[in-house]
Amino acid sequence: MSTAAPARLPALHDVSTMTYREALRLALREELARDPHVFVMGEEVGVFDGAYKVTQGLLEEFGADRVRDTPISEEGFVGAGVGAAMLGERPVVEIMTLNFLLVAMDQVINHAAKIGAMFGGEVRCPMVIRTPNGAGNQLTAQHSQSFDGWFAGTPGLKVLAPATPADAKGLLKAAIRDDDPVLVIENLQIYKEHGEVPLDPDYVTPIGLAAIAREGADVTLVSHGFATVRALHVAERLAERHGVSAEVVDLRSLRPLDVETVAASVAKTGRAVCVEEGWPTYGVSAELAARIQRACFDDLDAPVERVGMAEVPLPYAKGLETAAMPGEDRIEAAVLATLGLAR
């Protein structure tokens, strides 16, 4: 028997450090190569290389039929995605930002989300819509919103919100392979975040499974998307400045929602602070608070706290915008208040 170390498996299990944006592009490239039914369409996804460069290079690699530029016509091309999906195609529709999905809301909520149930399961709609939410670039009231909860509150849709480059790849691939309409919510600030991404073309993040992004004992921060990036920074600060051990649960999936992982964490820490990029009223954090109090009533040592966007249309002036956002100072203050350590 040879004592030599086994030959290394081919690149399958390798990882590479890349940006969230590059991880999305890798997922698209792999899925376009894997399945001829997959095609990408949206405004400026082709010739322009993507408004935020997620689709850069894909037109050259896959051609104009697979990477289809659309007119500025969201209701039209989101609905075209719905119809193509009903015929067995797998459209991945890019909406330049979540704000613009509002003009296609009828196709998303009244049509895509209804197909499975309303037609008795006789047809399916395996389409993906991917789009960034978020504020922070002085884009002002009409371009700085996060409506994640509106969609996640709609039966018939699945809603995913990756927070890391690895999950950007894994969840987008899971969405493309899923037979239901899936909304993948990205974030403008998060595109430039770096992280390790598995290069295995079959690396897929399961839908409906949250991740413990950081282990801790004193308090649970529950977040998704860019709020998870913020929460992880805050957790480091809490450890350094206050000796607080914060656990961060990264939801990854908003519908289905992994309350089991959240509840297990809160049962351990006794405290929960829910953080989101959007307005908290009727938002994701409102839903979390309701479910946590129900699932963890006996475990809670403090009321569930929430941090989100200040409830105003986002202003232009930099100072006002920054003040409105769920920044690290506000999250830290909320955690300290929950722990009775308010400054």
Q: Which residues form the interface with other proteins (CB under 8 A)?
A: 37, 39, 65, 70-71, 73, 75-89, 91, 106-107, 110-111, 116-124, 126, 155-156, 158, 178-180, 206-210, 253, 256-263, 290-296
Mark 222-243 as b/e (b = at least 16 C-beta within 10 Å): bbbbbbbbbbbebbebbeeebe
Q: How far is the CB of 130 from other proteins (least distance, A)?
A: 17
Report the SS3 class of residue 306.
strand
Helix axes 165-177, 20-34, angle to 10 degrees: 30
Q: Which listed residue (31, 43, 74, 186) is catalytic?
A: 74
Q: Which CB sits closer to other proteins, 105 or 239?
A: 105
Alpha helices in 35-126 (DSSP H): 58-62, 74-86, 98-101, 105, 115-118
Q: Which CB sits closer to other proteins, 122 or 240?
A: 122
Q: Which CB sits closer to other proteins, 45 or 314?
A: 45
Q: How far is the CB of 163 from other proteins (least distance, A)?
A: 18
- The upper half-sphere exposure of residue 44, i.e. CA atoms within 13 Å in the direction of its Cβ, equals 11
Q: How far is the CB of 319 from other proteins (least distance, A)?
A: 38
Active-site residue flag, 74: yes
Q: How far is the CB of 77 from other proteins (least distance, A)?
A: 7
Active-site residue flag, 143: yes
Q: Which CB sits closer to other proteins, 18 or 211?
A: 211
Indicate the residue type of 162.
P
Q: Which listed residue (37, 143, 233, 242) is catalytic?
A: 143
Spatial CA neighbour of 99 closest among 313, 310, 247: 313
Positions annotated as catalytic residues are 74, 143
